């Protein structure tokens, strides 16, 4: 009973902004619409909200066909990239606006506003005006305002786009926890893959108005359906493993390597992260070397990208030109992969912790 986007298309003049897009959001899910600038993701969001009308297609919100319903009647909560706070109204008046439109009585409005102010941790700022607040505070007001009318659906358009990196991180985290608490069906638009992976349940990857891939963060990240997804999401090898004693058993295979990261681990499911350039291919077997088969070789000028596979796991290896020419790897060759430098995380930590660490390590921006 969440959101159904069904065969939506929209063009502006000659420009096709949205091309036959469809996906679902289950009730209570937080889904990211991820894509580069100009990919049409904001347009899709605005169509769901009713701020644009599609040329073709339908939108269903909580089971109702809202395609021909006006914006006012759709009862969605919308958070704009630049907040769109009412500059001439105080924080509490901003938040109260939707409730006043609904003609709620004064006490109800007052209580609801207080509840939301506390929820977004802006106690004490009720009477301030937008120009007196920081970017992060304004964003929280925008969120509170959107939630005041208890919409069934929450839409956020690049909510953190206008903020500093640090503030953005904190706010993204906070949004995730917030969403856990409220469990409101939500879609947010972003061009930042980290954000998407960090806080969403599922990701819809959009490029040039079309859906490139749709799935949970893990599958989008590890099993990109297309070159676009792969390159947009970034190159890190994510390897499932099981930790036992001091060894890591590569899942679905019989191979194991010694845990040399120096990080103590409990036995159980883990995730191993290794950069393409940190995978070393050798012709001979050695300690902690995993046998792999070379699937494809890509020439990249200064280096080669080698796609290998072991069991069901794909490994992307990056090898510099000189090395490669010395080794002369060939397609379908069976070689051995050693992980020179890698990090291991307990799988239970959850996606957002993984990617926090990834950022720290400089694996991804």
Partner 1 sequence: MVLRGLSFFYVGLLIILPILAISAEALKGGFPNLWTNITAPAALASLKLTFLTAFMMVILNVITGTATAWVLVRYEFPFKNLMNALIDLPFAIPTVVTGIMLVALYGPNSPVGGFMEKKGIDIIFARPGIIMALLYVSFPFVVRAVQPVLQEMDKDMEEAAKTLGARPFTIFRRIVLPTLLPAVLTGAALSFSRAIGEFGSIAIVSGNIPFKTQVASVYVYGELESYNPQGALGLSVVLLLCSLLILIFLNRLQVWSRKHAAA
Partner 2 sequence: MQRHDEIPSAGAVKVVRKPNGLGKNLITAAVIGWFLVMILVPVIGIVKQAFGSGWKPFISSLLTSATGHSFILTLAITAAAVVLNTFFGVILALTLVNQRFPGKLLFEGLVDLPFAVSPVVAGFMFIILFGPKGWMGQWFEAGGVKIVYAVPGMLIATLFVTLPFVAREIIPVLREFGLEQQEAAYILGASRWRTFWRVTLPSIRWGLAYGVTLTIARAIGEFGAVLVVSGSIINKTQTATLHIHQEFTDFNYVGAFSAAIILALLSFVILTAMQRLNRRKGV
Residue numbers at the binding site for partner 2 (CB under 8 A)? 4, 6-7, 20-24, 53-58, 67-68, 211, 213-215, 219, 225
In the complex with partner 1, the residue whose CB is nearer, 88 or 227, is: 88
| Cβ 188 vs Cβ 156: under 8 Å | yes
In the complex with partner 1, the residue whose CB is nearer, 78 or 336, is: 78
Dig out the tokens for 39 from the structure: 């990919």
Radius of gyration of the chain from Cα atoms?
Answer: 24
Q: Which does 313 bind (CB under 5 to 8 A by kind): partner 1, partner 2, none?
A: none
Q: Which does 146 bind (CB under 5 to 8 A by kind): partner 1, partner 2, none?
A: partner 1
Q: How far is CA 316 from the centre of its chain?
A: 22
Q: Which does 53 bind (CB under 5 to 8 A by kind): partner 2, partner 1, none?
A: partner 2
CA angle 250, 254, 259 (to 5 degrees): 40
Exposed, middle or buried by CB within 10 Å (0-12, 13-18, 19+), for 312?
A: exposed
Residues near partner 1 (CB under 8 A):
49-51, 71-78, 80, 82-88, 97-98, 101-102, 129-131, 133, 138, 142, 145-146, 149
Q: Which does 20 bind (CB under 5 to 8 A by kind): partner 2, partner 1, none?
A: partner 2
CB of 259 to partner 2, least distance (A): 34
CB of 143 to partner 2, least distance (A): 28
Q: Single out the residue of 212, 158, 206 nearest to residue 39, CA to CA.
A: 206
The DSSP secondary-structure symbol of 154 reads E
Q: Which does 249 bind (CB under 5 to 8 A by kind): partner 2, partner 1, none?
A: none
Q: Single out the residue of 222, 219, 217, 216 nearest to residue 235, CA to CA.
A: 222
In the complex with partner 2, the residue whose CB is nearer, 22 or 135, is: 22
In the complex with partner 2, the residue whose CB is nearer, 53 or 285, is: 53
Q: Give the whole-angstrom CA distance, residue 195 versus residue 209.
A: 21
In the complex with partner 2, the residue whose CB is nearer, 20 or 307, is: 20
In the complex with partner 1, the residue whose CB is nearer, 81 or 170, is: 81
Token match 């066909």: residue? Answer: 65
Q: Give the whole-angstrom CA distance, residue 63 versus residue 1.
A: 5
Q: Which does 22 bind (CB under 5 to 8 A by kind): partner 2, partner 1, none?
A: partner 2
CB of 239 to partner 2, least distance (A): 22
The DSSP secondary-structure symbol of 66 reads -
CB of 205 to partner 2, least distance (A): 11
| Cβ 337 vs Cβ 308: under 8 Å | yes
Instruction: Find the farthest-apart pair of alpha carbons in the chain and give their distance in angstroms, rounded.
Output: 79
């Amino acid at each position: 009973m969440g959101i159904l986007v069904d065969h939506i298309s929209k063009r502006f003049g000659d420009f096709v902004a949205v091309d036959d897009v469809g996906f679902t959001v289950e009730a209570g899910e937080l889904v990211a619409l991820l894509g580069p600038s100009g990919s049409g993701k904001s347009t899709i969001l605005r169509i769901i909200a009713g701020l644009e009308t599609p040329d073709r297609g339908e939108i269903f919100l909580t089971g109702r066909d809202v395609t021909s319903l006006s914006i006012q009647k759709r009862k969605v909560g919308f958070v704009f990239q630049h907040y769109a706070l009412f500059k001439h109204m105080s924080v509490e008046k901003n938040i109260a606006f939707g409730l006043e439109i609904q003609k709620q009585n004064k006490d109800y409005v007052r209580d609801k506003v207080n509840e939301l102010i506390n929820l977004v941790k802006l106690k004490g700022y009720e009477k301030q005006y937008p120009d007196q607040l920081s970017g992060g505070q304004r964003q929280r007001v925008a969120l509170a305002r959107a939630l005041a009318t208890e919409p069934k659906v929450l839409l956020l358009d690049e909510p953190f786009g206008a903020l500093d990196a640090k503030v953005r991180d904190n706010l993204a985290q906070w949004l995730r926890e917030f969403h856990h608490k409220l469990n409101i069906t939500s879609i947010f638009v972003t061009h930042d893959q980290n954000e998407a992976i960090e806080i969403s349940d599922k990701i819809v990857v959009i490029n040039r108005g079309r859906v490139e891939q749709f799935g949970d963060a893990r599958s989008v990240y590890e099993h990109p359906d297309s070159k676009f997804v792969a390159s947009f999401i970034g190159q890190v090898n994510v390897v499932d493993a099981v930790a036992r004693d001091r060894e890591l058993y590569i899942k679905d295979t019989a191979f194991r390597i010694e845990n040399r990261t120096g990080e103590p681990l409990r036995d159980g499911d883990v995730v191993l992260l290794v950069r393409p350039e940190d995978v070393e291919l050798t012709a001979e077997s050695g300690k902690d070397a995993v046998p792999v088969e070379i699937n494809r070789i890509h020439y990249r000028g200064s280096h080669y990208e080698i796609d290998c596979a072991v069991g069901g796991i794909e490994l992307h290896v990056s090898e510099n030109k000189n090395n490669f020419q010395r080794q002369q790897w060939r397609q379908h060759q069976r070689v051995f992969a050693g992980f020179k430098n890698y990090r291991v995380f307990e799988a239970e930590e959850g996606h957002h912790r993984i990617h926090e660490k990834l950022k720290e390590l400089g694996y991804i921006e």
